[in-house]
């Protein structure tokens, strides 16, 4: 594949994006809302398929081959805001070490959202649903690389699955956020990817929402190629967003430092919206997670 897109192609793609209508979407990592440009057609149709670049090798993976709870050497459970409530007015309680919400079974990680209130849990914050949020914080983080996650989305009304990364520094949005894949269940034929940083959060996040008919019908590959010069996002190799390094400082590009990976299934909230009470349980299935890097 080509190493980078030409500046002319980037300008043309941005012009297409500028024609789209603005859509208010909520950031995964914080409470602010993000304004994204909704693409009305394929904004980067001229780019080659996104595949593992030549010279890259696999440096970290989970193939989910061992049944039971997720591998504790690779994943932790994030439960930090259960008591106070999760960002964006989400309505789920994220459990820890509970196979009802996160289990490896038959070669797949199954993150399951359920309609239940764990009122006996000491950190329960009144949530009417349970789910799980897994992360590699403190176990694995990367600066640059090709990321690929093969997953099947839950696609129920009120679901909000995400595959994303956060900066290890612990500051949001200063340390950045890369949303490889998000989807909201009440628009099941669309997906989106977003970049957040100090100069681009709130109403200024850089992202694209695109139509992908059939996205709920089976497993698909969600990909990100992150280099020092740009970040590309794709589904099944088809690029739908490119964020080029503007070279204007850390506020617009904090992406020369490590990020860790998160997988979660949120329910309701500012973006998840109205919840179909009859849809549960709803399962976000992940077949593998793979990270490749160059020259290592």
Q: Where in the sequence numbering do the catalytic residues fall?
A: 177, 182
- Which of helix, strand or coil describes residue 201? coil
Give the angle 162-45-287 at the CA atoms, nearest 5°: 30
d(CA 241, CA 39): 10
d(CA 125, CA 118): 9
Only one residue has tokens 């696999």, namely 58
d(CA 187, CA 182): 11
Other C-beta atoms closer than 10 Å to the C-beta of 139 total: 15
Give the angle 19-20-21 at the CA atoms, nearest 5°: 125
C-alpha pair distances (Å), 194 with each of 4, 18, 41, 48, 250: 19, 15, 17, 20, 17
The encoded tokens of residue 232 equal 């590309």
DSSP H or E stretch at residue 221: strand 220-226
Please report, to the nearest 10 degrees, the dihedral formed by the alpha carbons of residues 276, 282, 287, 293 taken in order: 50
Left, alpha or beta for 102 (phi > 0: left; psi -120 to 50: alpha)? Answer: beta
- Which of helix, strand or coil describes residue 141? coil
């Amino acid at each position: 594949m080509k190493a980078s897109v030409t500046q002319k192609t980037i300008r043309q793609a941005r012009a297409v994006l500028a024609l789209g209508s603005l859509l208010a979407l909520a950031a995964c990592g914080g409470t602010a809302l993000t304004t994204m440009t909704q693409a009305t057609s394929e904004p980067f149709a001229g780019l080659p398929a996104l595949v593992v670049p030549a010279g890259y090798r696999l440096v970290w993976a989970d193939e989910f081959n061992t049944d039971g709870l997720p591998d504790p050497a690779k994943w932790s459970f994030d439960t930090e805001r259960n008591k106070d409530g999760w960002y964006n007015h989400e309505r789920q309680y994220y459990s820890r070490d509970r196979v009802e919400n996160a289990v490896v079974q038959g070669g797949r990680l199954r993150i399951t959202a359920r309609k239940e209130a764990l009122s006996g849990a000491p950190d329960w914050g009144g949530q009417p649903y349970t789910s799980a949020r897994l992360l590699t914080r403190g176990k694995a983080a990367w600066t640059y690389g090709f990321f690929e996650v093969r997953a099947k989305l839950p696609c129920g009304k009120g679901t909000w699955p995400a595959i994303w990364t956060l900066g290890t520094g612990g500051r949001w949005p200063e340390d950045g956020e890369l949303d490889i894949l998000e989807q909201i269940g009440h628009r099941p034929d669309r997906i989106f990817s977003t970049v957040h940083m100090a100069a681009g959060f709130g109403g200024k996040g850089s992202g694209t929402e695109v139509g992908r008919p059939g996205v709920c019908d089976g497993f698909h590959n969600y990909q990100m190629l992150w280099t020092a010069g740009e970040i590309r996002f794709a589904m099944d190799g088809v690029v739908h967003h490119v964020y080029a390094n503007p070279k204007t400082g850390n506020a617009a590009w904090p992406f020369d430092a490590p990020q860790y990976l998160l997988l979660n299934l949120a329910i309701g909230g500012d973006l998840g919206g109205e919840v179909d009470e009859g849809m549960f349980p709803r399962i976000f299935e992940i077949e593998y997670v793979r990270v490749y890097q160059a020259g290592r």
